[in-house]
Structure 1
Amino acid sequence: MKKWRCNVCGYIHEGEQPPAECPVCGVGPEDFILLTEDKQPKQASKRWKCTVCDYVHEGDTPPDQCPLCGVGPELFVLLLDDAVALTREAVSEAGLDTANSALDKISYGLYIVTSFKDNNINGQCCNTVFQLTSNPLRISICLNKNNLTHEYVMASGVFAVSMLAANQIETVRQFGYKSGRTADKFAGVAYVPAKNGCPILKNCLAYIEATVIPEKTVDIGTHTLFIADVTAGRMVANDDALTYSLYRSSKG
């Protein structure tokens, strides 16, 4: 019996053909790859990662449009996953393509960043949330300009960060595989409003609220780096935090 792996969420299907639709994330058979007997995917010529939603496409060129978030090929980066011995030749060939593979080894957390605009709320997955200073207590987040949450943070000047526990991988799929422009990401999700008006997930590990410092907001091309003062926060549960590395390993 053949085994097929969904290239988006990691679901494994057994059968002579891939399924018509992935039961986990909903993509079609074109996003399944055939696994060999040792459960390692047959390698296509190249792998391309969407810098907005992390969808991975296999082929000689990036797709015309990301099937998850809709961005074009210019927002895909080439991944080089095969190990390369550290030799003088390898160093001389190092460039931006190989640097992207190296950056995949940086450790991140996974968070849900939320904000609002005109009585509408939205949230997205984010792995670039970090503390800058302790006195004053300041943090930073980095959001893609194409994302709806970016628009809401720019408009309201506030956001909240819900930190996820290691067992909340499904929450990543809820907030990371679709756009708030076409889906209600909070459908079926329990949340409470923060003091600053942003939604906080009720089952989060911890949360913080923050107010953007406009004069310290930095345009970095495809993304915006928001520097913000922390205004409130609290631990909710004493569990292990979900990391990006743990999430990636759970997909395959």
Structure 2
Amino acid sequence: MNKWRCNVCGYIHEGDKPPAECPICGVGPEDFVVVKELAAEQQLAVKRWKCTVCDYVHTGDTPPDSCPLCGVGSELFVLLLDEAVKLTREAVAEAGPETANSALDKISYGLYIVTSIKDNTINGQCCNTVFQVTSNPLRVSICLNKNNLTHEYVVASGVFAVSMLGSDQTDAVRRFGYQSGRNVDKFAGIEYIFGKNGCPILKDCLAYIEAKVLPDKTVDIGTHTLFIADVTSGRMVANAEALTYSLYRRSKR
């Protein structure tokens, strides 16, 4: 039995032939290659490249020509230096931005679907940068790439909703994270409900919140915009394990 690796997202499939469709990113069998069994020392030498825009991690000798999540070129990928070291004064002295990338890769992230509305049109995207910033008042922050359509909608309407995903909802990551709303209707065939602020909420989400952006607290951080927003509504929907970025990565192997 062979192991087949998806060239787009890194998903590993076991079988005599590649799958008809990648369960993670949806590409066909032509984008799968046989994974050759490597010696232990060779496996340790496999390089990992991290997209500095969306945090996608690619495995290979070189970075991909373009990121399958956000579309940026190979020049915006950095090599993750995964060698573990004993923490000494010398190790601290030798550390720098290159070694910091691997450290940042250990930060725990969730995976969420952020949605918004503009001119009665809806869109949504997968986002791993959603976090609470204060409890009183109740505020959250999201960070979106300026090139994304959802960013345009949030800027225009000043509102958004966040649908939290369960651990078994990796298909939502594929739908909302691997394609653009400029080319496809991401909500086709998806059950959703409009929230109080007009943004769609996935019916099978783990929980959701609705929020209103505070324009005076919005921050331009280069490739992205950091939106600070007041939480206006929200509710727990299901009691289950949340989908994290780490869990999602493991599901691709």
Q: TM-score, normalised by structure 1?
A: 0.86
CA contact (8 A) 2:141 2:229 kept: yes
Q: Partner letter of residue 232 of structure 1?
A: S
Q: Select between 128-137 and 153-162 the one with higher mean Cα deviation.
A: 128-137
Which residue in the other structure is 1:2 paired with?
2
Query: Shift of residue 53 of structure 1?
Result: 6.5
Deviations along 1:22-56, whole A, 9 cap, x unmatched? 53230665664614278998466633223337151
Deviations along 1:124-154, whole A, 9 cap, x unmatched? 1112111111221111111111211111111
Which residue in the other structure is 1:138 paired with?
139
SS at match of 1:48: strand
Q: Does 1:23 align with 2:22?
A: yes
Which residue in the other structure is 1:175 paired with?
176
- Partners of 1:77 and 1:27 in 2: CA distance: 28
Which residue in the other structure is 2:60 paired with?
58
- Partners of 2:75 and 2:235 in 1: CA distance: 39
Query: Shift of residue 84 of structure 1?
Result: 3.3
- Partners of 2:233 and 2:42 in 1: CA distance: 45
CA contact (8 A) 1:6 1:22 kept: no
Q: Does 1:118 align with 2:111?
A: no
Query: Shift of residue 219 of structure 1?
Result: 0.7
CA contact (8 A) 2:81 2:98 kept: yes
Which residue in the other structure is 1:73 paired with?
74
Structure 1: unaligned runs, 5 residues or longer: none
CA contact (8 A) 2:160 2:210 kept: yes
- Partners of 1:105 and 1:234 in 2: CA distance: 29
CA shift in 2, pair 1:64/1:165, >3 Å: closer
Which residue in the other structure is 2:192 paired with?
191
CA contact (8 A) 2:11 2:22 kept: no
Q: Partner letter of residue 61 of structure 2?
A: G
Q: Partner letter of residue 248 of structure 1?
A: R
Deviations along 1:217-248, whole A, 9 cap, x unmatched? 00111111100011111111122222222222
CA contact (8 A) 1:163 1:241 kept: yes
CA shift in 2, pair 1:116/1:43, >3 Å: farther
- Partners of 1:40 and 1:143 in 2: CA distance: 39
CA contact (8 A) 1:35 1:42 kept: no
CA contact (8 A) 1:4 1:13 kept: yes
- Partners of 1:237 and 1:178 in 2: CA distance: 27
Q: Partner letter of residue 207 of structure 1?
A: Y
CA shift in 2, pair 1:12/1:96, >3 Å: same
Deviations along 1:171-198, whole A, 9 cap, x unmatched? 1222112221222211211101111110
Q: Does 1:203 align with 2:240?
A: no
Which residue in the other structure is 2:251 paired with?
250
- Partners of 1:173 and 1:203 in 2: CA distance: 16
CA contact (8 A) 2:201 2:208 kept: yes
CA shift in 2, pair 1:33/1:122, >3 Å: farther
Aligned length: 249
Which residue in the other structure is 2:156 paired with?
155
CA contact (8 A) 1:112 1:162 kept: yes
Q: TM-score, normalised by structure 2?
A: 0.86
CA shift in 2, pair 1:95/1:69, >3 Å: same
CA contact (8 A) 1:157 1:211 kept: yes
Query: Shift of residue 69 of structure 1?
Result: 3.7
Q: Partner letter of residue 138 of structure 2?
A: L
SS at match of 2:230: strand
- Partners of 2:251 and 2:154 in 1: CA distance: 30
